[in-house]
Amino acid sequence: MFHLNNIPGVAERLNVGRQTICDRLHAMGKIQKAGKWVPHQLNDRQMENRKTVSEILLSRHERKSFLHQIVTGDEKWIYFDKPEHRKLWVDPGQTSTSTARPNRFGKKTLLYIWWDQKGVVYHELLKPGETVNTIRYREQMVNLKRALDKK
């Protein structure tokens, strides 16, 4: 990593212009990136707490792995009428093709899917028009539990 604030000093020591340093860095495959903004700077105590918690979790994982026990899930609308959407390489200034978004009120169904570190554990595709209420959600949890027990 080369900080942009170092360019004037390096250019002066090498007796070359700043642009020469920038051109050389670019030729080496380097690109300019701005740092991320964070909500606030952590103080020393907060940084030490994060380090301690991370070390505890890592040592716990090394003693007895727990990551394989994590199951997460998500839902995704699946549209029956899905226009093809492409990414294109174009010249700078050239416009790409446009595609209308699918009608979000058109015919669609909902996919529920749960997975762990090894892949999909259970999935369910609802019938068109079917919604999830507390009874349906409870059934999904029972079905997910069965799938986990089989695994």
Dihedral in degrees, nearest 10, Cα atoms 55, 58, 60, 62 = -130
DSSP H or E run through 148: helix 134-150
Considering only 17-21, 96-100, 111-115, 142-146, which range has the smallest mean pLDDT? 96-100
User: Where do the structural domains in the chain lie, given as residue ranges?
Assistant: 1-32, 68-83+103-150
Split at pLDDT 50, 70, 90, the class of 141 is very high
Separation of alpha carbons 131 and 41, rounded Å: 44
pLDDT at 149 over 60: yes
User: What residues are paired with 78 via a beta bridge?
Assistant: 109
| pLDDT at residue 122, as a whole number | 95
Split at pLDDT 50, 70, 90, the class of 124 is very high
> What's the chain's average pLDDT?
81
| pLDDT at residue 24, as a whole number | 83
Stretch 20-38: mean pLDDT:
78
Split at pLDDT 50, 70, 90, the class of 103 is low
How much is the pTM? 0.46
